[in-house]
Structure 1
């Protein structure tokens, strides 16, 4: 099965889906949607997703799914050989769901609150309170990892893909240092040994960070 994924690799939500696809051994064609060129506002794209957000996954029967969290839940529920990435146990399932909501409700909004004025309104100054939101989110992550190797226990889940894509992007603003956030730092190192990490997340996030630094310098 080869999917069509609409988005851009520098987008954290898009990368979270690409990570999941790799973990499942599924192929996709990534069709680039240039947000800065407002390609997501074209009528053709809005017909696929009226919220005009990325990523959008086109599945085999011509249907579309958007929101990276919904996409990854769909992919695992339908194609995974076991439930390790998204456990069926009711309690463990709820833990993964909570972490997914944390990403959509805390982590990613902390990133978007800086990115949106930076990229769309040419603002070059970031208020300190926005940095404080990132630091607070990192501290929550430290607590989540207090007794575990991954964010929902000692095995990898789809929540880790979302946290990875978002946190490595947040590092454009506040890097994760081992002396300040030792558990989070160790988790990042653990995730970097995934065989598909560099291709799917490492290289694209470097492009994103370079772009952010250019914007902060007013270029």
Structure 2
């Protein structure tokens, strides 16, 4: 195995999803912090990842970006088996569906849609309709978890890693109700019991939550 280098910001949900994958696969790696708020660092980083987003992975000179692509790559290349990203096309399609859902809905329409104005524009009033979007996510994922412990079945996959990193961050805006979303809440608790969860997602997620709460956000009609 060549030297793996992960570029990112520890508090970023997509970065945390990749760290969860690396920890689950027990792959050693080096972490390099990328300060996307510094223009010089941002421009330097674009030479590695032209989109300027985190994370990016350097696998012995081969650069891969986007957490979903990175995680699938890591399992395919370094996994002892295919349980985290099945080779069976039907099972893989189920995982891919949730990865696309995380990209296009959970992260893009909720997390980024809320966080970007807070941190880049200092807008601390969150319209209620954005919170309603989080409700839709909770309802959808709760339905995906009906009668199964993980989002695509009986086995943990990279879809769980991507979704938990995003949804655990959404909790700062709207805590999931165990009565309304019993499957979702049970799934969160189940993933929190993973031996590497706290290091990979728990602690950095709490730091992100502290930064958000420090902004004194308010939900407005």
Q: TM-score range by the shorter chain?
A: over 0.9
Residues 40 and 167 from structure 1, CA distance in 2 versus in 1: closer, same or farther, beyond 3 angstroms?
Answer: farther
User: Secondary structure of the residue that 1:108 maps to in structure 2?
Assistant: helix
User: Secondary structure of the residue that 2:77 maps to in structure 1?
Assistant: helix
Q: Counterparts of 1:98 and 1:29 in 2: how far apart (Å)?
A: 30
Question: 1:158: which partner in 2?
Answer: 158
Question: 1:17: which partner in 2?
Answer: 18
Q: Is the 8 A contact 1:19 1:200 kept in 2?
A: yes
User: Secondary structure of the residue that 1:126 maps to in structure 2?
Assistant: strand
Question: 1:84: which partner in 2?
Answer: 83
Q: Counterparts of 1:39 and 1:152 in 2: how far apart (Å)?
A: 41
Q: What's the C-alpha RMSD, in Å, of the aligned pairs?
A: 1.3
Q: Residues 203-214 of structure 1 correspond to what in structure 2 (within 5 A)?
A: 203-214=203-214
Q: Counterparts of 1:38 and 1:177 in 2: how far apart (Å)?
A: 40
User: Secondary structure of the residue that 1:216 maps to in structure 2?
Assistant: coil
Q: Which moved more, 1:176-185 or 1:89-98?
A: 176-185
Tell me whether 1:145 sits opposite 2:136 in the alignment. Answer: no
Tell me whether 1:71 sits opposite 2:87 in the alignment. Answer: no
Question: 1:116: which partner in 2?
Answer: 116
Question: 1:101: which partner in 2?
Answer: 100
User: Secondary structure of the residue that 1:27 maps to in structure 2?
Assistant: coil
Tell me the TM-score normalised to structure 1 length. 0.95
Q: Is the 8 A contact 2:48 2:63 kept in 1?
A: yes
User: Secondary structure of the residue that 1:5 maps to in structure 2?
Assistant: strand
Question: 1:8: which partner in 2?
Answer: 9
Aligned length: 216
User: Secondary structure of the residue that 1:64 maps to in structure 2?
Assistant: strand
User: Secondary structure of the residue that 1:48 maps to in structure 2?
Assistant: coil
Question: 2:33: which partner in 1?
Answer: 32
Q: Counterparts of 2:217 and 2:161 in 1: how far apart (Å)?
A: 30
Q: Counterparts of 2:128 and 2:31 in 1: how far apart (Å)?
A: 36
Q: Is the 8 A contact 2:107 2:166 kept in 1?
A: yes
Tell me the TM-score normalised to structure 2 length. 0.94
Q: Counterparts of 1:63 and 1:89 in 2: how far apart (Å)?
A: 26
Q: Is the 8 A contact 1:40 1:53 kept in 2?
A: no
Gaps of 5+ in 1: none
Residues 155 and 49 from structure 1, CA distance in 2 versus in 1: closer, same or farther, beyond 3 angstroms?
Answer: same
